[in-house]
Amino acid sequence: MGKVKANAGPLARRPDNSAFKQQRLPAWSPMLTAQTVLPFFYGMATVCVLLGVWLLVTVQNTHELKVDYTHAGSCDKCFEKRKDRANANQSCNCTVVFNIENTFKGDVFFYYGLINFHQNLRQYMDSRDDGQMIGRNKNLKNPSSYCEPFMKDKNGLPIAPCGAVANSMFNDSFTLVYHSAASRQVVPLFRKGITWYTDKNVKFRNPQVENKTLTLAQVFEGTGQPLYWQKPVYDLDPWDRNNNGFINEDLIVWMREAAFPNFKKLYGVLNRAIEPFTEGLPAGNYSVDISYNFPVEYFQGRKEVVLSTVSWFGGQNNFLPIAYLVTGCLILLLAVILTAVWWKFAL
């Protein structure tokens, strides 16, 4: 016969008879009465409303101007031209004129915006090779299968950078012009320093080779450019050789996918070292000369340029202030209703 287990029976799994295991330790149980709950509600409503007003005033002190150039001004002919894919390699330039009524004081940021472009689709976001973008030599000519169907070009060469994200890179370029009473002046923009530090210095690197005398074009020899690109990756910026390859800042900005279908991405920052832009963008007439390359009719989208100033809170975004105001008003309404109920039935 087997040995009989001690403490067998229905109480065998009962915890020890101690204050901790039997949950008899001293505890504080708050008494939720009207005198304690209602002041908390009124206090929270006051805090939310004050925060909402403060943030709303801060946001209103920033300026933002959006100019839709999809087929505005002389861009209409470019819009029609981009409908035909056979014209993809043909250049098209246009100009859009607009006016700034009030001076944009301080730092001014120049963005390009896309509407109805879904960068947040799972298959689209997965279509890239991070090992290739970080500069691993083995991935340069052997990209991940996730890049299909943008893994090899029509000649069978591996594409660098591969994938749908890089293939659809935004490739319009802009020149902002200020029209003063005396002259026509190009607005100077900083085109470097527009990426996150970790992206520029950690997540994106060019392939490393032992022979330091090789040019970047030789490093990428044996690879093809993305199907819809007009230039190879090693020649994206002909004016700055240190801004080519996988560390090109426009490429890095584009490769950080947006969470929503309507988004804007940084293109440049106003250089305030030159007159008359030391205080910001003066009020007056402006135009944007656009190299119109990116087609949007296939996904029924639109394109825009955005000029914006920022505060400690960021750009002009009313969502959080309005959320605080609405939340504060709802809490206040609930507090008033509870006060009326308490006053009627408890007093």
pLDDT digits (tens, 9 = 90+) for 97-131: 999 999 999 999 999 999 999 999 999 999 999 99
How far is 140 from 142, CA to CA, in rounded Å? 6
Q: Could you give the count of Cα atoms lying within 13 Å of 164 in the half-sphere of its Cβ?
A: 15
Selected residue with higher pLDDT from 66 and 87: 66
Structural domain boundaries in the chain:
40-62+320-346, 64-310
Sign (positive/negative) of CA torsion 232, 237, 239, 245? negative
Cβ-count burial 189-217 (b if 16+ within 10 Å, e if not): bebeebbeeebbeebbebbeeeeeeeebe
Torsion-angle region of 15 (φ positive above 0: left; ψ -120 to 50: alpha; else: beta): beta
Do 168 and 228 touch, CB atoms closer than 8 A? yes
Please tell me the predicted confidence (pLDDT) of residue 8: 61
Q: Extract the tokens encoding 287.
A: 């135009």
The pLDDT of residue 12: 72
The rounded radius of gyration (Å) of the Cα atoms in the chain is: 30
Average pLDDT value over all residues in the chain: 91
- Does this model's pTM top 0.85? My answer is no
Q: What is the pLDDT of residue 347?
A: 62
pLDDT tens digits for range 132-164: 999 998 999 999 999 999 999 989 999 999 999
User: Higher model confidence: residue 187 or residue 7?
Assistant: 187
Q: Which residue has the higher pLDDT, 85 or 104?
A: 104
pLDDT band at 333 (very low <50, low <70, confident <90, very high): very high
User: CB-based contacts of 347: which residues, under 8 Å, 6+ apart?
Assistant: none
Burial of 171 from C-beta contacts in 10 A (0-12 / 13-18 / 19+) = middle
Over the chain, what HEC string results? CCCCCCCCCCCCCCCCCCCCCCCCCCCCCCCCCHHHHHHHHHHHHHHHHHHHHHHHHHHHCCCEEEEECCCCCCHHHHHHHCCCHHHCCCCCEEEEEEEECCCEECCEEEEEEEECCCCCCHHHHHCCCHHHHCCCHHHHCCCCHHHCCCCECCCCCEECCCCHHHHCCCCCEEEEEEECCCCEEECCEECCCCCCHHHHHHHCCCCCCCCCCCCHHHHCCCCECCCCCCCCHHHCCCCCHHHCHHHCHHHHHHHCCCCCCCEEEEEEEECCCCCCCCCEECCEEEEEEEECCCCCHHHCCEEEEEEEECECCECCCCHHHHHHHHHHHHHHHHHHHHHHHHHHHCC
The pLDDT > 70 percentage for the chain reads: 97
Q: Give the whole-angstrom CA distance, residue 112 versus residue 68.
A: 10
- State residue 118's pLDDT score: 94
Q: Is the pLDDT of residue 251 over 60?
A: yes
Number of residues that this document lists for the chain: 347
pLDDT of 346 higher than 80: no
Does residue 213 carry a pLDDT above 90? no
Residue 86 has pLDDT above 80, yes or no: no
Q: Are 316 and 59 in contact (CB under 8 A)?
A: yes
Region for 251 from its dihedrals, namely left if φ exceeds 0, alpha if ψ lies in -120 to 50, beta otherwise: alpha
pLDDT, tens digit, for every residue of 162-208?
A: 999 999 999 999 999 999 887 899 999 999 999 999 999 999 999 98
Between 146 and 7, where is the model more confident? 146
Residue 207 to residue 247: CA distance in whole angstroms? 10
